[in-house]
Amino acid sequence: MLALKRVYDKTAPEDGVRFLVERLWPRGIKKTDLRLDDWLKDVAPSAALRRWFSHDPQKWTEFQKRYSAELDSHPEACEQIRSAARHGLVTLVYSSHDTEHNNAVALKEYLSARTGKKRKLNHV
């Protein structure tokens, strides 16, 4: 199962395995202060796609398509998430203030669609 959580939210034991899915380290957070199992930079959108999207909700649908194409071209980038999810809860950690239009939401939807299981977004 996959869940979502902002880096600025309190961690909890119920989070399961926690992966940061951002290319850049979140502002204002010390690396020693954030409990993570890994930082998966390669699963994040490319710098060019991130700049193009610029967190504009009007570009959301096209962002999802472009991001999915990037993920399709590097399927190995998601393998650590898939593997951990087979054994329990995985929380995708992100830094965006927009909880509906960000790469973690798109990544969760992408992974859920590829496993044939559309899941409701869980914000832990």
Q: Over 80: is that where the pLDDT of 3 sits?
A: yes
- 21-25, 59-63, 91-95, 113-117: lowest mean pLDDT where? 113-117
Helix and strand totals (H; E) in the chain: 4, 4
Q: Over 70: is that where the pLDDT of 77 sits?
A: yes
So what's the pLDDT on residue 116?
57
- Model confidence at 123, pLDDT cuts 50, 70, 90, reads low
Per-residue pLDDT reduced to its tens digit, 55-71: 999 999 999 999 999 99
* Secondary structure (DSSP) of the chain: -EEEEETTSPP-GGG-EEEE--SSPPTT--GGGS--SEE-GGGSPPHHHHHHHTT-GGGHHHHHHHHHHHHHH-GGGGHHHHHHHTTS-EEEEE--S-SSSSHHHHHHHHHHHHTT------B-
So what's the pLDDT on residue 63?
98
So what's the pLDDT on residue 11?
92
Q: Over 50: is that where the pLDDT of 118 sits?
A: no
So what's the pLDDT on residue 25?
95
Per-residue pLDDT reduced to its tens digit, 81-93: 999 999 999 999 9
